[in-house]
């Protein structure tokens, strides 16, 4: 269906829903690279005006990627919850924005309508929202998940401890794990990105981490962020808490990652059967990021933020413990600078939360992006206010394996302190018991004789 909007006697027309969505997006280099971005500032605002008037019902009638040709579209359409949608079914996208911001719409209400929202509706409304709107509404969401601890309750901020090593050296990885634990990180997960995605190497890494976890009785979960097929092979051979996978918002993107929905389902069921979680059954960990579909030439001329939100529809189908966008990793041809990375980070967090995902964020940048630690401090603080479930903890912000910069263990302490946030309650109790933090949440001085420093 075609849409149009007139400003100052100038008519702007858009051939279909996906072009309105693309042109209404705040500027980012990836959409320009794909040739989808608005051609002028005027056209962008005209697209936003047109978008604001589109009834949410239109989104149920027009698939932006054909149903017959894309299993992600089929998942979105087939699992749409009409009952949850009812309350907002008469809204336009603009109404939805104004409604979300009212005081009457609270945590409970947001979770009630969540399954009635398609990713396209969520991405549409986000394009009309200012950064403060994205923060204000996300802050009202609460998405709690459990495996061996409780993540995502209001007032909490957790950390994935990311102890990568450039040659997968087990002692080198363990050294970073100890460093992170002694700085209070690791409640979301202790998760390694392996250099070599082989069954042997990943298996050894899992065994090493599980040994540390059990020896010190740490109430957290471990994960090697290998390809899903590697995890599947290891299900009965190594201690697998969570199955990890990078996912995208189109079937073709997922094909380029070497997966499909059926494979995720198989891994999900396999991990559930292991029954390793003591508190809950959230067994999946997904990573996403704007630009992955364009990069795989699998975007169907859909803008990168909309593709990203569609990946969240994939994620929510499998009740994950953790989901995070790796927002600044992809590079300046998709998100050019601190401003674009910040906007994208807030959008991704908002869209994920509105779709009831336990949303975390890899607040990060590469050296060819126009960004630095100050930009990361800004985004970290904003996401902390928005109620992000977890962030990354990388020694000194410098990932020596993936060659990019993320947030550090120190950064996590900073954001917890300035915003009064706490770790997962079970992990917090452990930190106190181990003499790493005191009852007020301040980090203690660690002596050379500390238990954690003995094994290596």
Q: Which residues bind another protein (CB under 8 A)?
A: 29, 32-33, 163-166, 169, 171-176, 178-179, 182, 331-333, 336, 366-368, 372-373, 394-398, 400, 403-405, 408, 410, 413-414, 417, 443, 445-448, 450, 453, 456
Question: Residues 325, 288: contact at Cβ < 8 Å?
Answer: yes
Q: Output DSSP code: residue 390.
A: E
Spatial separation of the C-alpha atoms in residues 211 and 301, rounded to whole Å: 47
* Shortest distance (Å) from residue 442 CB to another protein: 9
> Residue 158 pairs with which residues in a beta bridge?
390
Spatial separation of the C-alpha atoms in residues 42 and 44, rounded to whole Å: 5
* Shortest distance (Å) from residue 79 CB to another protein: 34
* Shortest distance (Å) from residue 317 CB to another protein: 30
Token pair 């290998």: residue: 226
Nearer to another protein, 35 or 262 (CB): 35
Spatial separation of the C-alpha atoms in residues 393 and 185, rounded to whole Å: 7
Strands 10-14 and 3-7, by their bridges, are antiparallel
* Shortest distance (Å) from residue 185 CB to another protein: 12
Spatial separation of the C-alpha atoms in residues 308 and 147, rounded to whole Å: 26
* Shortest distance (Å) from residue 400 CB to another protein: 5
Backbone dihedral region for residue 344 (phi beyond 0: left; psi -120 to 50: alpha; all else: beta):
alpha
Nearer to another protein, 27 or 99 (CB): 27
Question: Residues 284, 321: contact at Cβ < 8 Å?
Answer: yes
* Shortest distance (Å) from residue 397 CB to another protein: 7
Helix pair angle (71-78, 304-316), 10° resolution: 60
Nearer to another protein, 57 or 450 (CB): 450
* Shortest distance (Å) from residue 252 CB to another protein: 14
Tokens of 124: 């549409």
Nearer to another protein, 89 or 367 (CB): 367
Helix pair angle (131-140, 373-386), 10° resolution: 40
Nearer to another protein, 20 or 394 (CB): 394
Closest by CA to 300, choosing from 26, 32, 63, is 63
* Shortest distance (Å) from residue 331 CB to another protein: 8
* Shortest distance (Å) from residue 172 CB to another protein: 4
Spatial separation of the C-alpha atoms in residues 121 and 118, rounded to whole Å: 5
Nearer to another protein, 50 or 394 (CB): 394
Nearer to another protein, 4 or 215 (CB): 215
Nearer to another protein, 54 or 369 (CB): 369
* Shortest distance (Å) from residue 26 CB to another protein: 16
Nearer to another protein, 46 or 182 (CB): 182
**3-class DSSP assignment, residue 287:** strand
- Judged on CB neighbours under 10 Å (0-12, 13-18, 19+), 196 is exposed
Closest by CA to 187, choosing from 357, 359, 388, 391, is 391
Which residues are within 8 A (CB) of 332 and not within 5 positions of it... i.e. 6 or more apart?
29, 366, 368, 369, 370
Nearer to another protein, 283 or 401 (CB): 401
């Amino acid at each position: 269906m075609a849409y149009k909007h007139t400003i100052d006697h100038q008519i702007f027309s858009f051939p279909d829903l996906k072009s309105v969505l693309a042109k209404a997006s705040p500027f980012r280099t990836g959409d320009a690279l794909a040739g989808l971005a608005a051609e002028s500032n005027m056209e962008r605002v005209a697209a936003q005006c047109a978008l604001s008037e589109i009834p949410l019902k239109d989104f149920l009638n027009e698939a932006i990627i054909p149903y017959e040709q894309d299993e992600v579209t089929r998942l979105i359409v087939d699992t749409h919850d009409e009952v949850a949608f009812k309350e907002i079914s008469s809204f336009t996208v603009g109404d939805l924005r104004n409604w979300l911001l009212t005081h009457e719409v609270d945590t409970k209400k947001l979770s009630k309508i969540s399954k009635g929202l398609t990713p396209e509706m969520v991405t549409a409304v986000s394009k009309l929202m200012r950064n403060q709107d994205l923060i204000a509404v996300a802050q009202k969401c609460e998405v709690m998940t459990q495996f061996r601890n409780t993540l995502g309750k209001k007032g909490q901020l957790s950390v994935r401890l990311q102890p990568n090593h450039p040659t997968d050296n087990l002692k080198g990885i363990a050294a970073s794990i100890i460093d992170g634990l002694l700085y209070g990180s690791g409640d979301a997960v202790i998760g390694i990105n392996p250099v070599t995605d082989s069954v042997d190497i990943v298996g050894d890494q899992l065994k090493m981490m599980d040994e540390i976890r059990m020896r010190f009785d740490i109430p957290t979960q471990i994960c090697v962020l290998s390809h899903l097929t590697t995890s599947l092979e290891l299900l009965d051979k190594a201690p697998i808490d969570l199955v990890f996978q990078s996912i995208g918002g189109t079937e073709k993107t997922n094909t380029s990652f070497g997966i499909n929905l059926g494979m995720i389902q198989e891994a999900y069921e396999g991990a559930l059967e292991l029954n390793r979680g003591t508190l809950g059954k959230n067994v999946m960990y997904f990573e996403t990021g704007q630009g992955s579909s364009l990069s795989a030439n699998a975007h169907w001329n859909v803008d990168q933020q909309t593709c990203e939100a569609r990946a969240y529809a994939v994620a929510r189908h499998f009740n994950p413990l953790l989901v995070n966008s790796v927002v600044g990793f992809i590079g300046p041809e998709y998100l050019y600078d601190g401003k674009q990375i910040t906007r994208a980070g807030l959008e991704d967090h908002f869209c994920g939360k509105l779709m009831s995902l336990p949303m975390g964020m890899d607040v990060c940048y590469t050296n060819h992006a126009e960004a630095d630690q100050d930009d990361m401090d800004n985004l970290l603080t904003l996401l902390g206010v928005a109620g992000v479930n977890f962030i990354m903890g990388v020694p000194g912000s410098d990932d020596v394996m993936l060659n990019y910069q993320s947030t550090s263990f120190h950064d996590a302490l900073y954001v917890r302190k300035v915003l009064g946030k706490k770790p997962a309650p079970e992990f917090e109790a452990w930190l106190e018991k181990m003499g790493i933090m005191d009852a007020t949440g301040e980090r203690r001085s660690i002596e050379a004789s500390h238990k954690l420093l003995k094994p290596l």
